[in-house]
Structure formats: structure tokens, C-alpha cells
Structure 1
């Protein structure tokens, strides 16, 4: 007599089916080209002058090459504003090289050690804001590389008064060995597809440090950078504050490039666990369901359930699990193919896919606990809200014509 399957196996089968469905959606959601490049549609209106914020902290591989792409913009008028917190920061030498190589670009540097909260990047932005001359801001992380028409494209949507922030997705390239390649798969084959699925479903609850473009007035209405001073996910909260003002978040068609440089498992673990804890801090229900997106372990469970169902006299169940495992496997390989830049990288990294998914599952378990993360050598608390943040005295967003960048550097040094 055939016995009914236990509830635990039905629950496991449901997880396998959900994971297979997610893999199919992820494969379909990815574009057919690796980097989307679109010219901005101006609509007859001239694009405004822009200040590009580039907060820096130390040297890193390809820092000069990545920053140089911002110097090569075809945009008509823009200020490239760099900021560091110490005169000993090696990034200063890189900025000096950029000034020598691109004398035609308005490149300015602030050095200011003042700290306003637990997020040192936001403290840097607060200190830089006083020297932003233009009324449209583009904030981009230091490890981002862009195409020459990048500014033109990401700024164009701000001509619509209903748009609050424009943000960009990014694709990753591993720099320097095995673990950077594994780290690139984290971004390209897990993070980016999950965002595209959410966006296709109508969600705009996102914001990425790769690019945040907004008007000065929008930032002023939300309280300036100071409201983000104790936020771990400052990019997410910036866009959320704009949405609370009734303004839309727009995902640009531009996909910028970023580098993964962690050469050891420990360094990669810390970085990716920090990302997962950040997700936990802003979206606990979403974080709870993340394991569904780690496809490979579920495929193993589905294959085991198929064999177990066949051996215990449940042929229908075995067939269902076989179909589930097969569909999930095909979809996961297709997703890998659509994220690969060439056939060589497809075959080279295909064996890493199970490792990548399995590592994600372990990192998710690690991210379920912990109250702090380490970012650029500083400990930042994992918080789920910024409701307790109150205004503070800090440099304003209005340019001060009576002080130059050199004055700011001298004042900071003397303080």
C-alpha cells in the first residue's frame, strides 16, 4: 500500500518549484545585450549643468581608469567634485594625475575630516556639498566606469518634474583571480536579475550607489545628506525619501561597469554578507524569501525528491520533481549564458555556478544575525529605519562663493 508523502517533503517540493520558477523569470528578465546604451531624448530642452560627486577613500585597483571615464564625458558643462577625509589619503595622488591628464575638465577636490554620523561616506558627501556649483547632482561610487554619453542619458529624465531620482544598475568584472570571478557572479547572476524581476513587476523601491541623479531642490526638501548620516543603505534611503515627497524613482537604461577586487574568500564573504545584511535592514520580508533565488541547492533537493518518490512508489510525484529539476537547470544555465560576455567566459565560469549559489545560501544564513557591518574599515550599525534621525548643523547645499576649494582644504588641515 502506498503511503502519503510527509508534509516536510511537500514543503520542500514547493520550495523547489518556487526556485525553478524564479530561475525561469530571471533568465527571461535579463536583456539580450550585456550593457545597454541609449542616447538621451532631449525633447528640445537643453540639459542642465551638473555636479558629479565622487566620494573617495583610499586607493584601489583601476581607480584612475574608472575615474578617467568621468573625465571623458561628452556632456556640455559639468563639475567633477572629489572628496576625501584626510591629506594622507592616496586617492589624492590619483586626482592630481587626472587634473594633469584632463586640464579641460573642471576637477575639484575637498579634504575635510569632519564626521557627522556612523556612515563616513555620507559625512564625505556632506562636506563636499558646499562646493557643488550646479543644481543637478550625480553621485557615483569610486569603482564605477561609464561610457562617454553617460551623463547625458542619466540626467535627461530629470527634466520631468515628477522624477525625483534616476539610478543605474551595474555589471561586474572580476579583477585579479578566482574569488573576484566568483564575486562578479554574485552581482551579474543574482543581484541584477533580482532587481530586473522586481522592476518588471512594477517595483521602484530601489536605489544604487552606482548612480544617483537628482535635483538640488529634491535633496534640500528631504533634509540634505545629513538625514542619511547614520544609514547603512544610504543609496536606498535617498531614493525612498524622494518617493516620500511624491517623486518617482527611474531605473536608467544605462548599465555601468564595476570591479570586484576581493582576492580572498574572507574578503569576499565580508563584502557580500554586508550587502545581504543591508537588504535585511531595509526589507525584512524580502530578505526572508531570498533563499528561493539560490537555484542550485534547490535543484539538488528536487533531484533527490524525484529519486525518493520513485523508490517509495510515488511515480507522479517523481515525474513532477524531475520536470522541476530539469526546468530549473535549463533556466539557470540560460541565465548564466545571458550574463556571460563571451563563450569563453560562459564555459570558464559554468562550473562556478553551483559554488556561487551554495555560497550565497551560507552567506544568507550568516546575514540573518549580526548588528554591524564593516565598511572601509569602519563599523556601521545595521538599522531598519531612519525615523530617529534629526537635523544637525552641517554645511549647506548652497554654494559659498566666498570660499574656494583650497580654503576648505586649509581650514580642514588647521582644524
Structure 2
């Protein structure tokens, strides 16, 4: 009996330590985000910044595609080229690109059709020809749904110092209409932002490929773009290739503003679940540690621990724990918005609870359904992040 009590006491102490570590992580990410994001560069001589080749992989038309692509034609940067990569010559996005090229003839822009089959990743295949044609050593990959501020490219180039090989942007969401958009903003402004900022602070590989600037010469040493065609999470392995060669990988001050015109709650959940599956395959330790970084799971288990050690009401502890966690998330989103949050406090509360509870359910789903569906194709994940496509028989 005494042995059982000692075991329970040890477990309770361990859970209290996990709880304290979570709060240290929460506060560290909050302070670091306040310091890192939205910084200005008044002393930069823009004319001395290096040229940049921007790869834009395009598939199909999004309601906001014209608006998003036009922001790349209006950036305040001395030397850059736009390389639009379109897999299918009959893709409707080709007309939008051509109309923008006609509207801004002074911008160095080219269109590449057809792509090249260099691996299983359709995005890599799409960009292969454009990558080979890039004329600058700094190459940026930017997804079609990204909306660019006119000074973002300057900010990314400033962060590309002599010891830095890759600069990435922390994902966030543009303000759009509807509850689904608010829910997306909640995810990227709370749990995701905390982990992303903390990983960057601790120099852990967290780079996402939706908006990333890289040294082409270093990437070529690793085998070029085609070397990463065997992965779906090519961004993670590209960043790791830079880290393995002694280069730093850092997050810049401007956010990657996702501005897709097609969005819904179901689409958002499928996307998060796909990312979870990729993380589980690439970094298996996340299976254990990710649930322990969420508000509800860590609050519930710690409520038992404080009740066992200090005889404090578990319900009271859980309510206080949740309230403080909620307030820190609210503060972080205000930092990301660089001002007030663009929807009501009531919507914030509803979105916050749906995000917290839904995230736990999606974690469970990611383990029960390990296969990935992306761009209409089905993939089977292997340990290490390598994938193979699943082909289904068609009957006539």
C-alpha cells in the first residue's frame, strides 16, 4: 500500500513538472513573439539587397487568386523575378497569370508549363522547370494562397545574413468573412503560433514551405529540388538539409498571410489532420508530447495531481488553469494582429473552445487513419516521412 502511495505521489509530482514546463513554454513563446514579429528595418539600404527568384506553383483557380498574385507584382524590392509554374497547359490559372503579366510589363515574370516528373510530390514536380530556370541564388517558394505585403520580401532578405541559409514565415490567416475563417485564424493564432514561435526560439526545425526563402547553391549541394520529391513534407527536409550543413534556419518578422478564397471548417480540419499525420511519421516523439502541450489534457491530469498533493478542488484548479491559458492565447493573437482582433469576443470564446476540443479529436483521427489524401491523390506514409502513392483499381 505504501509503495502504491509513493508511486502515485511520484506521478503527481511528474505531472506538476509537465504543467510548469507548459507554462514556461507558453510565456516564452509570448515574449519571443512580441519581440520577433512586426519589426521594422529603417536603416536598410534596399538597393543593396540581393536579387530573388520567386517560384509560384499554381493548380486551378481560387476566388482570391488574382488578388493574391497581384501583390507579388507590387512589392517594393529592387530586383526579383516571378516564375509561375503551371502543371497543365489548360489550367485556368494560366489566364490570370497572363493578364497580370500584361498589366505589369515592367515586372520580370515568366510562365512555365508542364512541370517535370522528378518524384512523388506533385508540388516539387510542378516547380522543377522553374527552379532550373531561376537566375538568382536566393530562391523563394510561395504558395498560390499567400498574400504578400509590399515590404515582406525586404524583411525576408534582411534576415538572410551570412550564417543563415533559409528564412521562413510563420503561417497566419488574412481576415476574411465567416466563422470558418475565424476558426482558422484561431488555430494559427493560438496552439500553432505557440509551438512555431517556441520552435524557432529553440532553433528546432519548424519551417513550412508555403513561404520560404533559400540559398539555391546550398540546396543544389543537397541534390537540388528534385532530391526532395520523395517526401510530401518537402519543406521539413529542405530545412533539415540546411541545418545538417551548418546553416541557420530562422523565422522572419512578417507573417505568411494565407488568403485562400475557398475555405470551410471541414477543409480546415482535413488540412490539420494531414499535417498531424506527417508529423507523426517524421518526428514520432510528437505522438507522445503533442497531447501534453494542449490546454485541456494537461489541465485535467494536473487537476488530479494538485488534488492528490495539496487537496485543492480539481474543478477550481481546472477553471483557473483554462482561464489563464485562454487569456494568454488572446494576448498572443493581439500580437499577431498587431492591434485588435477582427471579430467579437464572443466569437473568440466559441472558436477557442472548438479549436481546443476539436484538436484533440483530430489527433485521435490522425492515428486511426494514417493514409493521406492530397490534391485528389492517396498516399501511404512510412516512418521518416517517405511516402508511396496508393493506386486504386478502376472498373469499367
Counterpart mapping for 1:310-325 below 5 A: 316-318=310-312, 322-323=316-317, 325=319
Alpha-carbon distance, 1:356 to partner: 0.7
Alignment pair present for 1:128 and 2:122: no
Alpha-carbon distance, 1:75 to partner: 0.8
Change (3 A) 1:34 1:197: closer
Change (3 A) 1:254 1:304: same
Whether the 8 Å CA contact 2:172–2:257 is kept in 1: the answer is yes
Please name the residue that 1:193 is paired with: 194
User: What TM-score comes out, normalization by structure 1 length?
Assistant: 0.80
> For residues 143-190 of structure 1, what are the alpha-carbon distances to aligned partners after superposition, in whole Å with 9 as ceiling and x for unaligned?
112221222221234340x32111111221364522332222221211
Alpha-carbon distance, 1:215 to partner: 2.0
Alpha-carbon distance, 1:319 to partner: 5.1
Instruction: In structure 1, list runs of 5 or more residues that go unmatched.
Output: 390-415
Deviates more, 1:7-16 or 1:104-113: 7-16
CA distance in 2, matches of 1:20, 1:101: 56
Please name the residue that 1:366 is paired with: 365
Alpha-carbon distance, 1:84 to partner: 0.9
Alignment pair present for 1:379 and 2:381: no
CA distance in 2, matches of 1:260, 1:324: 37
Instruction: In structure 2, list runs of 5 or more residues that go unmatched.
Output: 389-396
Three-state SS of the structure 2 residue aligned to 1:253 is coil
CA distance in 2, matches of 1:148, 1:159: 21
The CA RMSD measured in Å over matched residues stands at 3.3
Alignment pair present for 1:356 and 2:355: yes
Alignment pair present for 1:151 and 2:153: yes
Alpha-carbon distance, 1:269 to partner: 2.4
Whether the 8 Å CA contact 2:85–2:115 is kept in 1: the answer is no
Change (3 A) 1:6 1:358: farther
Whether the 8 Å CA contact 1:303–1:325 is kept in 2: the answer is no
Three-state SS of the structure 1 residue aligned to 2:311 is helix
Please name the residue that 1:237 is paired with: 237
> For residues 334-354 of structure 1, what are the alpha-carbon distances to aligned partners after superposition, in whole Å with 9 as ceiling and x for unaligned?
212330442562502212212
CA distance in 1, matches of 2:366, 2:133: 38
Alpha-carbon distance, 1:204 to partner: 3.2
Three-state SS of the structure 2 residue aligned to 1:333 is helix
Aligned residues: 380
Counterpart mapping for 1:159-178 below 5 A: 159-160=161-162, 162-173=163-174, 175-178=176-179
CA distance in 2, matches of 1:13, 1:19: 10
Change (3 A) 1:44 1:355: closer
Counterpart mapping for 1:5-404 below 5 A: 15=15, 18=18, 21-22=21-22, 25-30=25-30, 31-32=33-34, 36-39=38-41, 42=44, 46-160=48-162, 162-173=163-174, 175-200=176-201, 202-259=202-259, 263-299=263-299, 309=307, 316-318=310-312, 322-323=316-317, 325-340=319-334, 341=337, 342=340, 345=343, 347=345, 348-385=347-384
Change (3 A) 1:47 1:33: closer
Whether the 8 Å CA contact 1:294–1:358 is kept in 2: the answer is no
CA distance in 2, matches of 1:367, 1:243: 28
Change (3 A) 1:7 1:95: farther
User: What TM-score comes out, normalization by structure 2 length?
Assistant: 0.84
Please name the residue that 2:393 is paired with: none
Change (3 A) 1:301 1:99: same
CA distance in 2, matches of 1:380, 1:286: 21
